Amino acid sequence: MMKEKSKAVISISGLRHNYTEGDGVKEVLHGIDLDFYGGEIAIIMGPSGSGKSTLLKLIGAQLTIQSGDIVIDGDHLSGANQSRLREIRRKIGFIFQSHHLLDSITVLQNVQLPLAFDKSQNSKSSRELAYEALQTVGIASHAEKKPAHLSGGQKQRVAIARALIRKPAIVLADEPTASLDEKTGREVVELIKKMSKELGVTVVLVTHDNRILDIADRIIRINDGNLLV
Ligand code: ADP
Ligand code: MG
């Protein structure tokens, strides 16, 4: 469809990251320069330990930037204060390897959770919005169940509904198929693709599963903290 590049929604420049281990410091990202564009599905592919999750956490403002910068929709993460970071995080939905659902509350309540801290008064109740999100991912009939009663694929659908509930511009997915069998994994990535294309969401998905690469508009490879070009 649309092939010309739109404006960068995420712009990463000179990004480095260290972890302190014992008495040593280990650099795990060695200067990443990378842009993501509106509505695209970009897959970052690389072996375990190559820095994928670290990169995703930095983009999602879940880790503090040590060196370099990431610009999200015009906002600089480097040097941003806590309230700014909170605002930026609100533009981003997360889908994790394991679904990260709370087992003590219902599926519907899990999807409502990201709205719990929203002060903006919605015309629709968060319950209605969550129910609609569950309909969109095809599991509204399980709304009142506890997550423990769902299959792996159904849980990941709930996680997708939860990631999309605030209509984020960006969804970050960290190995969303890792705990699923091939067929279920395929259904989940097809759903992520459908959501991205219908809602115009920019998706950055990291994985080492090469069976799902075909859903990507663009594939980026990372190895040992460096992008391969
Ligand atoms: P990937 O997601 O590609 O498997 P990660 O970003 O999780 O890679 O990890 C990159 C490297 O950083 C690995 O060597 C990992 O062991 C190390 N690492 C990740 N998180 C931490 C942490 N909190 N403290 C120390 N080392 C870490
Ligand atoms: Mg990881």
Q: Of 18, 25, 53, which is best to mutate to test ligand 1, by the most ligand atoms within 8 angstroms of its C-beta?
A: 53
Tokens 């508009």 appear where?
A: 217
Ligand 1 atom closest to the Cα of residue 50 is 3
Å from CA of 28 to ligand 1 middle: 7
Pocket test for ligand 1, best of 16, 17, 19 (most atoms within 8 A of CB): 19
Alpha-carbon distance values, 24 to 18, 51, 58, 71, 202 (Å): 10, 18, 21, 30, 37
Compute the distance between CA of residue 45 and CA of residue 126 in angstroms, rounded to an integer: 35
Residue 84 has pLDDT above 90, yes or no: yes
As a three-state string, the secondary structure of 16-27 is: EEEEEECCEEEE
- Paired tokens of 226: 């460096």
Q: What single letter denotes the amino acid at residue 37?
A: Y
Q: Biggest alpha carbon distance in the chain? A: 54
The span from the CA of 114 to the CA of 154, in Å, is 19
Give the range among 31-35, 117-121, 154-158 with minimum mean pLDDT. Answer: 117-121
Mean pLDDT of 177-191: 92
Question: Is residue 6 very low, low, confident or very high in pLDDT (cuts 50, 70, 90)?
Answer: low
Partner residues linked to 8 by β-bridges: 37
Q: Are 201 and 39 in contact (CB under 8 A)?
A: yes
Classify each residue of 39-52 as buried b or exposed e, where b means 16 or more C-beta atoms within 10 Å of its C-beta. bbbbbbbbeeebbb
% pLDDT > 70, the chain = 95
Q: How many angstroms is it from 51 CA to the middle of ligand 1?
A: 6
Instruction: Verify whether ligand 1 is closer than 6 Å to residue 207 (CB atom).
Output: no
Distance separating alpha carbons of residues 10 and 111, to the nearest angstrom: 26
Query: Which ligand has the minimum distance to the alpha carbon of residue 59?
Result: 1
Count Cα atoms within 13 angstroms, Cβ side, for 138. Answer: 11
Q: Relative to the CA of 51, which ligand 1 atom is closest?
A: 6
Write the CB contacts of 7 (distance below 8 Å, at least 6 apart in sequence).
37, 38
Residue 44's pLDDT is 97
Q: What residues form DSSP beta bridges with 67?
A: 16
- What band does 148 get if pLDDT is binned at 50, 70 and 90? very high
Quick count: other Cβ atoms within 10 Å of Cβ 3?
5
Cβ 97 under 6 angstroms from ligand 1: no
